[in-house]
Amino acid sequence: MAGTTINHQMDFYSKYPKTLVAVDSIIFGFNQNDLELKLLLLKRNFEPAKGEWSLMGGFLQPDESLDDAAKRIVLQLTGLADVYMEQLYAFGELDRDPGGRIVSISYFSLIKINEYDRQLAKENGARWIPLSEIPELIFDHSEMVENALRKLRIRARTQPIGFELLPEKFTIPQLQRLYEAIYQMPFDKRNFRRKLLSMGLLEKMDEKEKETSKKGAYYYQFNKEKYEELLQKGFNFEL
C-alpha cells in the first residue's frame, strides 16, 4: 500500500516505517435480572491463540479513523450503530501479541443489553460474561479490561453515562442497582435518590414498572437537553 494517496493527501512520509494498528473494544452491558455488569467476550476463531477468550478487535483500515474502526467493530459484533464509546489507551509494547508487532488502541462501549443482535453475537462466538467470572484473556486484554473498568468507575461518577446501559425509561431502584454493580458496593437508597433527583436531570413519567414489586416504581427518563444546557452554565454531574 505504500505510496497510495488518500483524500488528496501528499506522501511526505513514505520512507518511514509503518506499523500494524488494531482497535480492541471492551463492551459493557447490564442485565437487570442478575444485577451484574457484564462484558461481551469472544472465543478467538483464528490463530494465534485460537480458542482462547479475548476482546472483540480488528485492524485499522487505511480509509477509516480510529473512532470509525471502533464503531465498525462494535457494529460487527452487536448490530448496534449508535453506541456510547470512549477511547481508553494505546497499548504499544513490542511483544504484546506473539503473532506480530501490533499497536492496539482500546475503546470501551456501553450498550443497552436488550437491544443488541443476539444472532450476530452468537455467530461470532461471543458471550456475555459477568465481571466476577471473567476468564484469563489473551495477550494484554486482561489489562485492557482492568483499565476500562477503572475508567468506567471514574466516568460514571462524574458524567451521566450510566443511562447508556439502561433502557430509555428506568426506575430509580434499577439505576441504583446498576451503580451498585459498577462499584461493587451498596448505596443508601435515600441518599442515592435525593442526589440524583436534586440535579433535575430525570423526568418522572406517569407509568410504573410493576414486574419487580407489587407497589411498582415510577419510570424516569434522562433529559439530555437539560443536561447540555446545564453544562453550559458550569454544572458538574457528580454522584
Q: Which residues bind a copy of itself (CB under 8 A)?
A: 1, 6-7, 9-14, 16-21, 47-48, 59-67, 69, 87, 89-95, 97-103, 105
Identify the DSSP state of 103: E
Q: Does residue 153 belong to the site contacting DNA (CB under 7 A)?
A: no
Are the beta carbons of 104 and 23 closer than 8 angstroms? yes
Q: Does residue 150 belong to the site contacting DNA (CB under 7 A)?
A: no
Q: Does residue 201 belong to the site contacting DNA (CB under 7 A)?
A: no
Q: Does residue 190 belong to the site contacting DNA (CB under 7 A)?
A: yes
Q: Does residue 213 belong to the site contacting DNA (CB under 7 A)?
A: yes
Identify the DSSP state of 124: T
Q: Quick one: 90 or 205, whose CB is closer to a copy of itself?
A: 90
Cα atoms found within 13 Å of the Cα of residue 95, Cβ hemisphere only: 0
Give the nearest distance from C-beta 139 to a copy of itself in angstroms: 12
Q: At what angle do helices 172-183 and 141-158 cross, to 10 degrees?
A: 140
Footprint on residues 66-85 left by DNA (CB under 7 A): none
Give the nearest distance from C-beta 200 to a copy of itself in angstroms: 26
Cα atoms found within 13 Å of the Cα of residue 210, Cβ hemisphere only: 5
Partner that binds at residue 105, options DNA, a copy of itself, none, CB closer than 5 to 8 Å by kind: a copy of itself
Provide the strand spans (E) within 44-140.
53-54, 56-59, 84-91, 102-110, 126-130
Closest residue by Cα to residue 40 from 114, 153, 115, 125: 125
Q: Does residue 193 belong to the site contacting DNA (CB under 7 A)?
A: yes
Give the nearest distance from C-beta 67 to a copy of itself in angstroms: 7
What is the rounded CA–CA span in Å between residue 107 and residue 121? 18
Instruction: Name the site residues for DNA (rule: CB under 7 A).
Output: 171-173, 188-191, 193-195, 210, 212-218, 238
